[in-house]
Each structure stands twice: as structure tokens, then as C-alpha cells.
Amino acid sequence: MSLRLLADRCLWRRLLAVCLALLSCHLPAGSWAQQAVPAPWQSDAQPLRRFEPPTDPSTARRATGSAPAHAGGGQAARTAVALSAYLTQDGEPIDQGLVWRVYAEKSDVDPPQPRLVTTSKVPAPTVELAAGSYIVNVAFGRAHLTRRIAVAAGNTADERFILNAGGLRVTAVLGEAEKVPDLTVSYDVYQGDADRLGGRTKVVGGLRPGLIVRLNAGLYHLVSTMGDANAVVSSDVTVEAGKLTDAVIRHHAARVTLKLVTRAGGEAQADTLWAVHAADGELVRESQGALPTHILAAGAYVASARHAGRLYQKQFTVVSGQTTQVEVVMQ
């Protein structure tokens, strides 16, 4: 038994030696021991580098995120230009109601186009402008002036604008003395000079009497309308610089009410179509209803009423200042 046990032990030792030999062929040396950490110069990894700030100042500003500083406060040299406006050469400066617009002339486009630089409603503003050529417009109501100015670098400038303007106030009367309610009349202002075809350029429209309109001095043509029909009056007026011009427009018209009845003094018929013609046949006004009312110029007319498919007519006359009711009887 002792010999057999000895033989078995020898066999196990040989098997163990073979296993150890096989393992030693497939594992690197020292794998059974703790591996040492390689030094930086023994590794493929790059060592960490310390951040070095750039030496170029502009690069440094970009790195820190700060904006570059500009010499002279960050803008090109500018000139203070004082603007003021006058009605006349010897008048006082206008102290309210002015609108200033300053345009820079753009020469890089063809044709050159002005570019709005600034606007101001200050009566006498001072604007900061770079050297160059500018177009300045000042408006005072409907009066205005546009002029080109040249700005030199480093010098202050004082620009005076003489508008050569005045005011116009219109009063409307009926007949010789009776004043017409302002809401009944509106008028338009046209240039005084007509073109070859007789047309005129409208300056401003839809004005009410009593208001002061600021205009450049000169001749103007007024067209005043009373009511909504043919009570229209034209007149020429001259506006003088530095003065308020009062113009009186005289209308000759009256208020007329139309009425279709079955008998004299009867009730007005609804759903009636009306047409008013002048004595020469020209259509003056059309309307619809039982009691339409219009303001008509003095003169002779024909009223036509169409109701239930039938036509009724009557002649009538308008006297200035006399309110009239035209009663058309169905016969």
C-alpha cells in the first residue's frame, strides 16, 4: 500500500508541473504579482500641459470675452449742428410746431438716395453729425423747406432756415353775413398756378373753417363745399409771409327737404327713390327714403320721385338762405 500511495503522489506532482508549465507559456511575466504604474515618460499618454495666455493683446481680449476699446470714445469725430427756423428773414425764431428730418446723401448707389439719419420735434435742436453732405427738411404745418448743408469735421455749425411762410384762416358765410356752421362746410387748398390742362395740385383737403393752416407764402386756390351736393364755391387767396391771412367764402345755398305724398300735406311715402336735376338736365343728387334733405345751390331744379314702379316730378326753385320743403303729390 505504501508503494502505491507513493506512486500516486508522484503522478499528481507531474500533472501539477505540466499545468504550471502551460500557464507560464500564456501569461506575461509578473502577472501573479501587483503591476507597477508606469512613469509618464514610459506611457503613450500625453502629459497634462499648463495653460499659457496668448501674447497678442487682441487675441487675449477675444479669449477673455472683453470688447476692444476704440480711441476717441468709439466714434468718428462729429460736429454739433444747431438748427433753427424763421417765418421771415427778420422774424423771431419759431418756437413750436416744427418737425425736423435730416438725411445723409448716399453716393454709393446710382442714383444717389438720401438715408434718414434723425428726426426731431424740438423747435431748435442741435444734432451731432459726421463730416459730409446732408439734406435737411423742416416742416411747419403745410409750410416746409428743404435745403442741403455741408458739415465739416471739428467745427460747430449754425444753420438758419427761412420758411417764408404765413397762416390762412377761412370763414364761410351764407349770403352776405350769416355765418355757416363749421361742420357744414369743408374746403380744399390747391396751388394757385394751373397746368396746361387747367389742373391744379392739391396742397391739403378736407379742412374745416376757423382753423389756421400754415402755408408757404404764395397764391392759392380754395374750393369750398357746403353740404353734400352742388353748393360749391371757388376763390383765390394770397398768403403773405409772417402774416395771418383771413379769407371769407360766401355761399349762396339753402337746405331742401323732399317729400312724396298722396295729397297736399299728407304723410311722406317710404321706399321712394329720388333724383334732383338742374334746369339744364344735369344730375345733381340721388337719394332714397321718405324725407331726404340736401343743401343745394340757389337756382332752379326738377325733383323726380319713383315709387311703386311709377315716376312723379315737380319743378322747384332754391333761394339762398331759405329752407324749403318740396312736396311732390302723387297724381
Domain boundaries, the chain: 77-162, 165-251, 253-329
CA distance 125 to 22: 102
E strand or H helix at 61, and its extent?
helix 57-64
Strands 78-86 and 157-162: parallel
CB 108 within 8 A of CB 121: no
Q: Over the stretch 177-197, which tens digit does the pLDDT of each residue have?
A: 788 888 899 999 999 998 888
| Identical fold between 165-251 and 253-329 | yes
CATH superfamily entry for domain 165-251:
Carboxypeptidase-like, regulatory domain (2.60.40.1120)
Q: Supply angle C-alpha 200, 205, 208, rounded to 5.
A: 135
CB atoms inside a 10 Å sphere around CB 288: 11
C-alpha cell read off for 299: 337756382
Residue 58: the pLDDT is 41
Q: Residue 16 belongs to what H/E stretch?
A: helix 2-26
82-100 average pLDDT score: 96
Tell me the mean pLDDT in the region 136-141.
97
pLDDT at residue 264 greater than cutoff 80: yes
* Amino acid 195: pLDDT: 87
The dihedral region occupied by 2, where left means phi > 0, alpha psi between -120 and 50, and beta the remainder, is alpha
Q: What would the pLDDT profile of 232-242 be if each residue is shown by its tens digit? A: 999 999 999 99
Q: What is the pLDDT of residue 50?
A: 40
In the three-class reduction of DSSP (H, G, I as helix; E, B as strand; rest coil), residue 58 is classed as helix
Helix extents (H) in 118-257: none
Q: What are phi and psi of 26, to 5 degrees?
A: -105, -15
In CATH, the number for domain 77-162 is 2.60.40.10
Q: What is the mean pLDDT of residues 30-50?
A: 37
For residue 290 the three cell numbers come to 321718405
Residue 85 sits at the vertex; the CA angle it makes with 75 and 156, to the nearest 5 degrees, is: 30
pLDDT in the model for residue 105: 84
User: What confidence category does residue 38 fall into, taking pLDDT thresholds of 50, 70 and 90?
Assistant: very low
Residue 253 · residue 173 · CB < 8 Å: no
- CATH number of 253-329: 3.40.50.300, 3.90.580.10, 2.60.40.10, 3.20.20.70? 2.60.40.10
